[in-house]
A = this chain, B = another copy of it.
Amino acid sequence: MQRGNVLVAQGGGPTAVINQSLVGVVLEARNYAHVEGIYGALNGVSGIVKENFLDLTQESIENLERVAATPSSALGSTRDKPDRAYCQKIFDVLKAHNIRYFFYIGGNDSSDTCRIVGEFAKESKYEMVAVHVPKTVDNDLMENDHTPGFPSAARFVASAFAGVNLDNRALPGVYVGVVMGRHAGFLTAASALGRIYPDDGPHLIYLPERVFDMDKFLIDVKTAYDKHGRCVIAASEGIHDKDGTPIVTKLMQKVEKDAHGNVQLSGTGALADLLCDQVKEKLGIKRVRGDTFGYLQRSFLGVVSDVDQREARESAQKAAKVGIGQGLSGSIAIKRVGDYAVEYQLTDLSKIAAKTRVMPDEHINAAGNDVTEAFKQYLRPLIGTTMPDQSRLQAPKVAKVLHK
């Protein structure tokens, strides 16, 4: 194998376990004699073009393990989406630092960067492998049963809705919780695992995989409210009308777009407030509350799936094994085998890059306002082995004396 340096970077939105992947690459890379230095790029690709590298060869195992257990990207991240000129700069830096093994932990944009940089290396006859290590709370990568980062965020969402449902049961009304997810509804759908009893909320779940119709929404809410005397709703930030226009933009005067040309959805309470106002005005329900889970759901300290931690570490170890041990480029995909176990498979970058997976039809109910049992079975093993218990009082009623 080619002697040289390893570079690892983290891109896109942070997750609760993205540092497990970082540490998985670093510790596995230490096993190979042909690895000289192990570098970490600060702030993803933007740190690569500026040559902002840390020498991770000098990190103690003890501190690496503490970092692994810490949420959010320890190397820093970036929202830059490199074009070919940007990738050329990346390649020039990699070559100058004798990087022969490049690992990029990120979503589908990051896998595309691996692909393009790998092409530059091939064209220049520079021997280098580029391996994409998947992460995303959105769970939207092709070829993967699920993606590291999603199970912990799903656990946050399920725990939040379990609590919110209990709160709403104690003080009844309508509650709207808005969850991250522009195109893929997996994270919003995870709210269903907060339910234990048949009348538990969320009573309604709205996903970006289905067209959102305000009139139908209001009928749904009224039906649930009449039945339960309360209604808990999970809505994806990405819900949109039949023309694909995000519902949140209907009230916005200025629409903020990110580097990828996407409308800014997170970091504002506008969608929850809009839906609450509709319920108050059109249905005349008084106690209506809305929360936007925002940034809490992807890096909350202490809410993490142990299964997710393990898989984030193992998928990165696999990346290092195939990249450094076998000299192969690609992306590491998680495949489910048995019930429940996983295998890590090297997959062609072009199958992941710049593509988006959404929820399959069999995970969404016919009415488009809830998930199916199949989805709950899919999700349950992922969110971890230690979900807290919850119970209700079972006691019978006491006979009335004054109001007989």
Q: A96-B401, A97-B401, A269-B268 are in contact. Are A166 and B299 (CB under 8 A)?
A: yes
- CA A14 to CA B170, docked complex, whole Å: 7
Interface: A272 (CB within 8 A): yes
Residue of B nearest to A268 (CB): B273
Are B392 and A74 closer than 8 Å at their CB atoms? yes
> Are B396 and A54 in contact (CB-based, < 8 A)?
yes
Asked if A63 and B14 make an inter-chain contact with CB atoms under 8 angstroms apart, the answer reads: no
Residues 10-38 (chain A) with a chain B CB within 8 angstroms: 10, 13-14, 16, 37
Expressed in whole angstroms, the Cα–Cα distance for A80 and B246 within the complex equals 39
Interface residues in A57-108 by Cβ distance below 8 A to B read 57-60, 63, 66-67, 69-79, 92-93, 96-97
Partner of A303, one of B53, B169, B303: B303
Task: Please determine whether A166 and B72 come into contact, CB atoms closer than 8 angstroms.
Answer: yes
- Shortest Cβ distance from A298 into B: residue: B167
Instruction: Bits for A163-178, please: 1 = Cβ < 8 Å to B, else 0.
Output: 1101101110001000
By a CB distance below 8 angstroms, the chain B residues around A40 are 393, 395
Q: Is the CB of A163 within 8 A of B300?
A: yes
Instruction: Write out the residue numbers on chain B whose beta carbons fall within 8 Å of the beta carbon of A71.
Output: 163, 166-167, 390
- Assess whether A127 is interfacial by the CB under 8 Å rule: no
B13:A388 contact, CB within 8 angstroms: no
A290 to B264, CA, bound (A): 12
Q: Once bound together, how far apart are the Cα atoms of A163 and B218, in whole Å?
A: 35
Q: Is A294 an interface residue (CB 8 A)?
A: yes
A288 at the interface (CB under 8 A from B): yes
- Residue A119 is within 8 A (CB to CB) of chain B in the complex: no
Name A172's closest neighbour in chain B (CB-CB).
B76
Beyond A96-B401, A171-B14, A401-B51, whether A395 also contacts B59 by CB under 8 A is: yes
A160 at the A/B interface (Cβ < 8 Å)? yes
The reply to whether the CB of A341 lies closer than 8 angstroms to some CB of chain B is no
Interface presence of A194 (CB below 8 A):
yes
Report B-chain residues with C-beta under 8 Å of the C-beta of A170: 10, 14, 43, 72-73, 76-77
Partner of A160 from the list B16, B60, B97, B300 (CB cut-off 8 Å) is: B300
Bound CA span A269–B43, Å: 30
0 or 1 for each of A374-404: is its CB under 8 Å from B? (1 = yes): 0000000000000111111111111011110
| A59 with B394: CB separation less than 8 A | yes
Specify which chain B residues have a CB less than 8 angstroms from the CB of A349 in the assembled complex.
Answer: none
Chain B nearest CB from A201 CB (Å) reads 12
A37 CB → nearest B CB, Å: 7
Mask: chain A, 273-308; 1 = CB below 8 Å from B; 0 = not: 100100000000000111111111011111100000
Chain B CB within 10 Å, residue with most, of A70, A73, A160, A170: A170
13 contacts across the A-B interface (CB closer than 8 A): A10-B170, A54-B397, A58-B395, A69-B389, A93-B402, A97-B401, A160-B296, A160-B301, A163-B295, A166-B301, A268-B269, A268-B289, A290-B294
Beyond A52-B397, A79-B171, 19 extra complex contacts between A and B, CB < 8 Å: A16-B163, A40-B395, A51-B401, A53-B398, A59-B393, A63-B394, A66-B391, A69-B390, A73-B170, A74-B392, A74-B393, A76-B169, A160-B301, A163-B295, A166-B299, A167-B295, A269-B273, A290-B294, A292-B292
Going nearest first, the 3 A-B pairs with the smallest beta carbon separation are: A269-B269, A267-B289, A291-B294
A-side residues, CB < 8 A to B, are 10, 13-14, 16, 37, 39-40, 43, 50-60, 63, 66-67, 69-79, 92-93, 96-97, 158-160, 162-164, 166-167, 169-171, 175, 194, 266-270, 272-273, 276, 288-296, 298-303, 387-398, 400-403
